[in-house]
Amino acid sequence: MAETWDLVDLCIVACADAFVDGGEVLASGIGLVPRLGASLAKRTSNPDLLMTDAECMLVAEPVPVGPRGDYVPRVENWMPFRKIFDLVWGGRRHAMTMPSQIDRHGTINISCIGDWNKPKAQLLGVRGIPGNTINHRSSFFVASHSKRVFVEKVDMASGVSYDDARWRPGIRRDFHEFPRCISNLAVMDFQGPGNSMRVRSLHPGVTLEQVREATGFELAVADDLGETRAPTDAEIAVIRELDPHGTRAGAVKA
């Protein structure tokens, strides 16, 4: 009998697929679904990924989310924060973050909503996004696809993107890459004209018109547009091990 799965499981698997061909890099999933996606990739499609315990240790296997009980992480090495920069500066990391706003070229905002001088909402600041978007692969996950998130112009640019205007002359761009942007409606990449956002696959039951209506800019569409693949029984079993308390329920808008 096939395992049952929910939309959040489909999104976790889509996030995991973003890490498949990354090789031996530090996988950093920021947020519950990205973290579970990176952890699933480590357990299944890319065992070479490096993972931390979210504190200061490299671990041999992903640490489950939620209360750990008697679980003891399998520590492989010490990874203090300063050591992470050795990986970051050489392109040896793939981070997946959850932007509050994102534009067609992947410029993201996690800093504020509204005018900088008098914002409607103060958010996180830029955090590590400037370095992330220059020094290594960055992907994105959006739990609720809407025109409030997918905008023509972000209220503040927290990092650089495929928009050439965001780059100063002479800055190296060889490690800059955005493989995926995943939402509760579709999987996208940045292989449209001028490295603009492109719809790669639609989640089951979602139409292209729905995605376009929920996006504040024109989207390119892949010639081979298909349906986002469903989780396998083996992947669902691993997800349940990684999230034994079911904390992922409600993490994605249906």
Answer for the pair 152, 143: CB distance below 8 angstroms, yes or no.
no
pLDDT score for 2: 74
Query: Is pLDDT above 80 for 253?
Result: yes
Q: Once rounded to an integer, what is the mean pLDDT over residues 229-242?
A: 97
Q: What is the CATH number of domain 7-242?
A: 3.40.1080.10
The Cα-based distances of 21 to 97, 142, 215 in angstroms read 18, 22, 28
More confident residue, 89 or 137: 137
Query: Is pLDDT above 70 for 120?
Result: yes
Query: Is pLDDT above 80 for 1?
Result: no
Answer for the pair 208, 221: CB distance below 8 angstroms, yes or no.
yes
Cα dihedral 80, 83, 84, 88, rounded to 10, equals: 170
pLDDT score for 198: 98
| pTM beyond 0.85 | yes
Q: Once rounded to an integer, what is the mean pLDDT over residues 71-97?
A: 89
Residue with tokens 């490096």: 50
Answer for the pair 108, 97: CB distance below 8 angstroms, yes or no.
yes
pLDDT bracket for residue 230 (50, 70, 90): very high
The Cα-based distances of 90 to 3, 87, 172 in angstroms read 40, 6, 12
Shortest CA distance to 107 belongs to which of 147, 63, 163, 53?
163
Domain boundaries, given as residue ranges, for the chain: 7-242
Q: What secondary structure does DSSP assign to 101-169, as a single string?
A: EE-TT--EE-SEES-TTS-SEE---STTHHHHHHHSEEEEEESS-STTTB-SS-SS--S--S-GGGS-T
pLDDT digits (tens, 9 = 90+) for 48-68: 999 998 888 999 999 999 998
Q: What secondary structure does DSSP assign to 67-92, as a single string?
A: --TT----EEEE--HHHHHHHHTTT-
Answer for the pair 178, 132: CB distance below 8 angstroms, yes or no.
no
Interhelix angle 32-43/7-17, rounded to 10 degrees, is: 60
Answer for the pair 186, 206: CB distance below 8 angstroms, yes or no.
yes
Task: Give Cβ neighbours of residue 6 (< 8 Å, ≥ 6 apart).
Answer: 249
Q: Once rounded to an integer, what is the mean pLDDT over residues 122-137?
A: 92
pLDDT bracket for residue 47 (50, 70, 90): very high
Q: Once rounded to an integer, what is the mean pLDDT over residues 126-138?
A: 92
What percent of the chain lies above the pLDDT cut of 70? 100
pLDDT score for 54: 81
Shortest CA distance to 178 belongs to which of 69, 241, 99?
99
Q: Once rounded to an integer, what is the mean pLDDT over residues 124-134?
A: 91
pLDDT score for 246: 96
State phi, psi for 88 to the nearest 5 degrees. Answer: -60, -50
pLDDT digits (tens, 9 = 90+) for 162-202: 999 989 888 889 999 999 999 999 999 999 999 999 999 99
Query: Is pLDDT above 90 for 254?
Result: no
Burial 167-190 (b: 16+ CB within 10 A, else e): eeeeeeeebbbbbbbbbbbbbbbb
